[in-house]
Amino acid sequence: MSSVSFCADDFGLSEAVNEGIERAHREGALQAASLMVAGAAAGDAVRRARANPSLRVGLHLVVIEGPAALPPAEIPDLVDSAGWFPSDQLALGLKYYFRPQVRRQLEAEIGAQFAAFAATGLTLDHANAHKHMHLHPTVGAMLLRVGGGFGLRRIRVPAEPPAVLARCGTRLGVGERLLYRWTGVLRRQARMAGVTSSEHCFGLAWSGHMTAERVALLLANLPDGESEIYFHPAARRDPLLDRLMPSYEHEAELAALLRIGPRSERADRLGR
């Protein structure tokens, strides 16, 4: 028995993203979205979420390549003078693991992002992290510990089964297979914290390219258990998307969610 839910990331990044997410929920199969609380269009995203109470909203924690909630003076070892996290995943991972001063600032920033979400008045449906940085054991532990104080009950474990991708015509490399095994660390952390997650997650190998054809392949090859498919829809391109995700097919991902259909029998049957 298989089931699937559809989620969108980067809610609040820009108005083009927000418009795409709202449309995908109103007219398509999108059920949930993950909010960047310090994003340039976070206020617009919250207004849209309030206007669409059936859209489940969670926190999209940003601790890499994105805006921080705290001012740079409070987290000088994390961000630049503009309050922006760097993009070097390896360098950040080493800092987060080995430097106590950095870890203290990181925990403060994670707390600030959860507090900012709570201040919106929206119900916290879930949490995940930009670029899946919560797979880092330090970040994952902090997200679960801090989030528990804000009522966190569900996270995304980005575990994409290689066998399913192979049936869909994509064979993962050694690194991707090792990453799949590494997700067990986060799953154990979540279990110990009493936090739930789906068994499978899709959107990693085809990140930014979840076209209608690929989604159809996934839906035809879903494994038993609960799956999440996540997207990056947007109503149009904009300068921020061009800078951060120049190769992503945001509009095609919106079209894929619209093709599944608005509250269709399939979406209702497969949604959790």
Residues 34-76: pLDDT tens digits?
A: 999 999 999 999 999 999 999 999 999 999 999 999 999 999 9
Tens digits of per-residue pLDDT, 174-200?
999 999 999 999 999 999 999 999 999
Query: Please, which pLDDT band fits residue 268 given cuts at 50, 70 and 90?
Result: very low
As a whole number, the mean pLDDT across the chain is 95
Q: How far apart are CA 107 and CA 262, in angstroms?
A: 39
Query: Please, which pLDDT band fits residue 271 given cuts at 50, 70 and 90?
Result: very low
pTM value?
0.94
Tens digits of per-residue pLDDT, 91-107?
999 999 999 999 999 99
Among the listed residues 253, 222, 250, 225, the one whose alpha carbon sits nearest the alpha carbon of residue 238: 250
Task: Note the pLDDT of residue 74.
Answer: 98
Q: In this prediction, what percent of the chain has a pLDDT beyond 90?
A: 95
Contacts 24+ apart (CB under 8 A), 77-84: 77/101, 77/102, 77/105, 78/102, 78/105, 78/106, 78/109, 83/38
What domains, with CATH codes, occur in the chain? 2-152+228-270 (3.20.20.370)
Q: How far apart are CA 268 and CA 246, in angstroms?
A: 33
Tens digits of per-residue pLDDT, 136-148?
999 999 999 999 9
Spacing of C-alpha 22 from chain mean position? 16
Task: Note the pLDDT of residue 198.
Answer: 97
Task: Note the pLDDT of residue 266.
Answer: 46
Q: How far apart are CA 265 and CA 9, in angstroms?
A: 24
Average pLDDT over residues 82-86: 97
Task: Note the pLDDT of residue 263.
Answer: 54
